[in-house]
Amino acid sequence: MDPEAAKYIGAGIAAVGMAGAAAGVGNIFGNFLSGALRNPSAASSQFGNLIFGFAVTEALGIFSFLIALLLLFAV
C-alpha cells in the first residue's frame, strides 16, 4: 500500500471519533433534558455534572480531530 494512501485512511479512521463525540453530546443533553422535565427541582443540582460530561466528551472529539490533522500534515 502506498504510504500516502495509508495516511489518508488513518486520518479518516481518526475522524470517526468526532462523530462519536457528537453522538455523546446529544445523548448527554437529551438525557439531562428528559430528567429535568421529570424532576425540575433536581435539575439545578445536576447542571455541574452536565457541564463536566459535555467538556470531557468534547475534549475527546477535539483530540480525535487533532490526531487526524497530525496524520495528515505532520507524518
Q: What is the pLDDT along the chain (75 residues), one digit of tens a residue?
A: 888 898 999 898 988 888 888 899 999 999 999 999 999 999 999 999 999 999 999 999 999 999 999 988 986
Instruction: Give residue 52's pLDDT.
Output: 94
In contact, 7 and 75? CB cutoff 8 Å: yes
Domain 3-73 superfamily per CATH: F1F0 ATP synthase subunit C (1.20.20.10)
Instruction: Give residue 15's pLDDT.
Output: 86
Instruction: Give CA–CA dist 15/9, Å, rounded.
Output: 10
Count CB-CB contacts under 10 A for residue 42.
Answer: 10
Cell reading at 49: 455534572
Count CB-CB contacts under 10 A for residue 68.
Answer: 19
Instruction: Give CA–CA dist 38/32, Å, rounded.
Output: 10
User: Where do the domains of the chain lie?
Assistant: 3-73
Cell reading at 4: 500516502
